[in-house]
Amino acid sequence: MMKIGGNVIDDASALTEVLTAFSKFEGAKILVHGGGKEASKLAEKLGLLPQMVDGRRITDAPMLDVVVMTYAGLLNKKIVAKLNAFGTTAVGFSGADGNLILSKKRKIGVVDYGFAGDIVSVNHQLLVTLLNNNITPVCCAITHDGNGQLLNTNADTIASELASALADFYDVELCYCFEKKGVLMNSEDEHSVIEILTEETYDDLLKTSTIHSGMIPKLDNCFAALKKGVKTVTIGHHSLIGNKNSNHTKVQLQAYENH
Amino acid sequence: MMKIGGNVIDDASALTEVLTAFSKFEGAKILVHGGGKEASKLAEKLGLLPQMVDGRRITDAPMLDVVVMTYAGLLNKKIVAKLNAFGTTAVGFSGADGNLILSKKRKIGVVDYGFAGDIVSVNHQLLVTLLNNNITPVCCAITHDGNGQLLNTNADTIASELASALADFYDVELCYCFEKKGVLMNSEDEHSVIEILTEETYDDLLKTSTIHSGMIPKLDNCFAALKKGVKTVTIGHHSLIGNKNSNHTKVQLQAYENH
């Protein structure tokens, strides 16, 4: 299970490199992708103003159309076409397709996130059927509420939930790829990668605000997946995919693991 | 196998009506959709000028992005979400997904159609697998060349080719739904529906230019499907879906059929 973020998708040569490496993986695999930067670009061209709160997008009706067009349309199909060219039988999915990911419109609290969906359930049977037929699902960050409404959902959370839903059936490895080499002790210093991040050290680093902003929900997703039985969770640069020895962060519940 | 055109998709209540009726069909089914009007609207908002020759779109690189976003993104996912809400397990497909429809970029002739694809082959095994698993494919008018390039492909042709590819495995009924009641003797008179259109009468009506412009490729697709073994081909208004007795055109190779 691999999740790739916006910066990789933006850069055509980085994307080709990632998808080439991903294609070479043997066995059952799933790709989850974001694409927020592309969506913001399209929104701007259409005269819409992207609004973010704590790294999460406010999704009004016109913005929902933009994210559906960008994530489920342009980016998903470009990725699927490339993977098929590289010999991987990929099929693109939103959460609406085959009722893969059911979610609930987020209740209006301090912030009204609009058409943002929080995941309720994953159709793990569909995933197992696809994987058993050697089909690689490519999942974008759109879900649905089961009543015909599409919803915008965080791609990191989708990767975590899909990985968790499969933990009973497979030994799942979850890998978050982005533009940095891992979780950094000092966000200004690319060499300060935390090699092993446990829940205990995570708590300490939260208290000192060493880990902050967008990294918090990402790490919460990592620990949630581990608690639901996902075997390994790593965070690293996309070049990690082809080279497991390169520097990265391994997220673990405890310092010493039993396996 | 049902194909719905742009006018149905544009109109939210017509679309709901069609999809409700389509959901009630029992047995294996496939939906193919166009969406040219929506694509043209988005293109205009982005300052692109839609160009058409003989009812076919000229697809340069920015226009390809627009049609992929509109067909495979916005429209496909809206339809899929609605069908799932109506109890049909629908999964959206472009031709790139699972290598469903392989096509070839049209050669530059008198007109350079840009990224327009002519269909080479259909992955009928994938379709059969989906249908056997009670999954309803919802196919948009995007294909790929197998080398990572997405291509814009006529939705009528896609419906014809998918129907033909399944003719060896199923008794296929192909139904083209649009805003009119069928093929008209007089395009100004909604009551002049030709009830049965054979190849012979088609040839006569072509000579007198009674049938012209966009109806010609549509009917060519109908006869092509019949010649490849598709059992029945009908053209009619979308209300036909819920009411088989309403007026429509039945396309047949000969006046008297053997079955």
Q: What is the pLDDT of residue B221?
A: 97
Quick count: other Cβ atoms within 10 Å of Cβ A13? 7
Of A202, A185, A160, nearest in space to A247 by CA: A185
Could you please report the per-residue DSSP string of A52-68? EETTEE-B-HHHHHHHI
Nearest residue in chain B measured CA to CA from A90: B98
| Distance in Å, alpha carbon of B158 to nearest chain A alpha carbon | 17
CATH classification for the domain delimited by A2-251, as one of 3.90.245.10, 3.20.20.80, 3.40.50.150, 3.40.1160.10: 3.40.1160.10
Give the E-state strand segments of B71-219 in sequence order: 90-93, 101-105, 117-122, 136-139, 142-144, 150-152, 173-178, 196-198
Q: Give phi and psi for B39, each to the nearest 5.
A: -65, -40
Helix/strand/coil for B246: coil
Which of A33, A86, A91 should one mutate to test binding to chain B, selecting the residue with the greatest count of B CBs within 10 A? A91
ipTM: 0.94
Q: DSSP 3-state assignment of A76?
A: helix
What is the Cα–Cα distance from B38 to B20, expressed in whole angstroms?
Answer: 21
Adjacent-strand bridge partners of A252: none
Least confident segment among A109-123, A190-204, A244-258, B67-81? A244-258
Chain A hits for B125, Cβ within 8 Å = none
Closest-CA residue to A226 (of A204, A257, A195): A257
**Per-residue pLDDT reduced to its tens digit, A68-104:** 999 999 999 999 999 999 999 999 999 999 999 999 9
**Distance of alpha carbon B21 from alpha carbon A101, whole angstroms:** 25
The H or E element spanning position A124 is helix A124-132
Q: Any chain B CB within 8 A of the CB of A80? A: yes
Which residue in the set B72, B81, B135 is minimally distant from A144, CB to CB?
Answer: B81
* Token pair of B219 as six digits: 């009917």
Which residue in chain B has the smallest CA separation from A45? Answer: B46
Asked if residue B57 lies in contact with residue B64, where contact means CB atoms within 8 angstroms, the answer is no
- Rounded Cα–Cα distance for residues B255 and B243 (Å): 24
Residue B244: the pLDDT is 67
Residue A169 has pLDDT above 90, yes or no: yes
Distances (CA, A) of A194 to A115, A230, A234, A250, B57: 35, 20, 11, 8, 53
Provide the residue ranges of all domains of chain A, joining segments of one domain with +: 2-251
- B89/A92 Cβ within 8 A: no
> What DSSP character marks residue A108?
P
**Percent of residues, chain A, with pLDDT higher than 90:** 78
pLDDT tens sequence across A115-150? 999 999 999 999 999 999 999 999 999 999 999 999
Q: According to the model, what pLDDT value does residue B19 have?
A: 96
* Chain A residue whose CA is closest to B73: A73
The predicted pLDDT at position B36 comes to: 82
Pairing of strands B31-33, A249-251: unpaired
> How far is B58 from B17, CA to CA, in rounded Å?
32
- Mean of pLDDT values over A173-188: 91
Tokens of A136: 């690689």
Residues of chain B with pLDDT under 50: none
A213-234 confidence digits (pLDDT tens): 889 999 999 999 999 999 999 9
pLDDT digits (tens, 9 = 90+) for A24-69: 999 999 999 999 899 999 999 999 988 888 777 899 999 999 999 9
What's the CA gap between A139 and B44, in Å, rounded?
A: 29
Conformation bin of residue A225: beta by default, left when phi > 0, alpha when psi is -120 to 50: alpha
**CATH of B2-252 among 3.30.450.20, 3.30.465.10, 2.60.40.1760, 3.40.1160.10:** 3.40.1160.10
Q: How far does Cα B179 stand from its chain's mean position?
A: 13
